[in-house]
Amino acid sequence: MSSIVFDRTVKMMEDRLSLNSLNQKLISGNLANLNTPGYKTRELSFDQTLRESLQEHVLQMVRSNDSHITPDDPVQAMSAREVTEAGPVDLDTEMVKLTKNSIEYQYMVAMLNKKFAMLKTAIGEGGA
């Protein structure tokens, strides 16, 4: 029953919210260390998102050409979480990232609320 009610869409939204939360921590840390000498900006790499997608089997690797390398276990090959370091912290760049991350988070919460409202309506009308 739970797989019907809490489908892949809800799981993907949950994963995105987790990613946004982690991004929020990294951006906040960058801003907190704005004036720390030698501190380098930290951010999630694309590889991190790809790893999580592979672990959740949302994205499957496919060989489109026989000359492509066949990974034995792509999940294991990409198992380590990666936070990359760039140059010094730029206030404007971090504020843009913070705003974008906040908007994405709010959007996902709104979409989850709509999903649950639809379920509530379906349950309420189904019992009548």
Domains of the chain, residue spans:
1-35+90-128
Q: pLDDT digits over 109-119, tens only?
A: 999 999 889 88
Nearest to 32, CA basis, from 102, 94, 122: 94
Is 7 in a helix, a strand, or coil? Answer: coil
Stretch 66-87: mean pLDDT = 59
Q: Is the pLDDT reported for residue 25 higher than 90?
A: yes
- What percent of the chain shows pLDDT beyond 90? 35
Radius of gyration of the chain (CA): 19
Q: What is the Cα–Cα distance from 48 to 30, expressed in whole angstroms? A: 18
Within the chain, strands assigned E span 42-44, 83-85
